[in-house]
Amino acid sequence: MLDLLELIKADHDKVRALFKQMESTSGAASGRRDLFRQIDDALSLHEKIEEAVLYPQLEQRSQKGRQRDEVLALLKEQTEASDLIKELEGIEPTSPTFATKFEALITAAGTHADEEERKMFPMARELFKPDELRVMGEQYIVMKDKAGAPALQETHR
């Protein structure tokens, strides 16, 4: 049984792979559009679920000061990434503007994922018991299923 952090790591890796794919497809418009749709779906859902089953709980448990500041900084980064996604949704995927904004998204979302793994994961392991992280993992899976997202096995083929 995977816990919440293992599920989040798997999502991050999936998005990292999609970013790589997008960086290597410069040509075909339909390919880029399709890839962006996959990235958009994966990232938007990932953020929505994290904001439901993780961040409020982290805010509650974290101590005022350094820990709380880190949680809030991560949430702010997350908002920046979702703002970029919303902007990209309105731009033609073959245009130069798209390429520039997409680079910004790769940096923002990539940095955010790295920081979550480096800072938030150890903090969550400290603040939540292993059982709690498994229950949160179940909530994560339930929310994903409800949204009709492909199961983890399918996304990692």
Binding site for Fe ion (CB under 5 A): 116
- Give dist(CA 114, CA 10) in Å, integer: 13
Q: How far is CA 91 from CA 5, 32, 34, 36, 86, in A?
A: 33, 12, 14, 11, 9
Q: Name which of 98 and 106 has its Cβ closer to Fe ion.
A: 106
To Fe ion, the closest distance from the beta carbon of 76 in angstroms equals 13
- Give dist(CA 31, CA 14) in Å, integer: 17
To Fe ion, the closest distance from the beta carbon of 46 in angstroms equals 6
Q: Name which of 32 and 46 has its Cβ closer to Fe ion.
A: 46
- Give dist(CA 2, CA 53) in Å, integer: 15
Q: Name which of 3 and 116 has its Cβ closer to Fe ion.
A: 116
Q: Name which of 102 and 140 has its Cβ closer to Fe ion.
A: 140
To Fe ion, the closest distance from the beta carbon of 14 in angstroms equals 11
To Fe ion, the closest distance from the beta carbon of 97 in angstroms equals 26
Is residue 27 packed enough to be buried (19+ CB in 10 Å), middle (13-18) or exposed (0-12)? Answer: exposed
Residue with nearest beta carbon to Fe ion: 116
To Fe ion, the closest distance from the beta carbon of 54 in angstroms equals 8
Q: Name which of 91 and 121 has its Cβ closer to Fe ion.
A: 121
Q: Nearest to residue 155, comparing CAs of 145, 146, 52, 142?
A: 145
Q: How far is CA 101 from CA 48, 89, 106, 107, in A?
A: 21, 11, 9, 10
